[in-house]
Amino acid sequence: MIAWVSKHYKVKENPLIAEIEQHLPQTQCAQCGYPGCRPYAEAIAKGEAEINLCPPGGDETIKNLAELLHLEIKPLEKEATEKRVAWIDESKCIGCVLCIKACPVDAIIGATKQTHTVINSECTGCDLCVPACPVDCIEMLNKDELQEKIKQLHQG
């Protein structure tokens, strides 16, 4: 009976949601104010969200969404700032893996009870790892700050 009801009363999804989602970067970083790319796509499809809320997608995503939805191109809602990446002070890291679990793009590598590190090229700067860390060993740094940290490590 349940199978019959679910088959005959299945709620059809708006196909526009999937099209919008294809244009989003799939970082699941929540920088748009939604918990992931899918909920953001759903909000756009319902007309509840603007197309210019995705910092990782940037201007290219806005352009693609505007074209898809026949909307005017708007500048990114959040003023573009210099890209920041997570940096883990490995001397303080306890290997709890909470940052790894919090990272939506798998930019943090490590193992339980081992120090962790960030793959800078993969980090979107979403900050989700920072509050997850129980020992406050993660900082968000811009390019110059990161280079200074690396320089200090090599000197000391």
Distance, CA of 128 to CA of 124 (rounded, Å): 10
Is 41 part of a structural domain of the chain? yes
Is 122 part of a structural domain of the chain? yes
| Total number of domains constituting the chain | 2
Model confidence over 119-146: pLDDT tens digits? 998 998 888 999 999 999 999 998 889 8
pLDDT of residue 29: 86
CA angle 117, 55, 46 (to 5 degrees): 125
Q: Are 56 and 106 part of one and the same domain?
A: no
Residue 20 one-letter amino acid: I
Q: Residue 17: which of 68, 67, 59, 75 has the closest Cα?
A: 68
Q: Are 91 and 62 part of one and the same domain?
A: no
Distance, CA of 31 to CA of 125 (rounded, Å): 9
Is 110 part of a structural domain of the chain? yes
Provide the residue range defining the domain that includes 90: 84-155
Is 46 part of a structural domain of the chain? yes
Comparing 83 with 35, the larger pLDDT belongs to 35
pLDDT of residue 81: 59
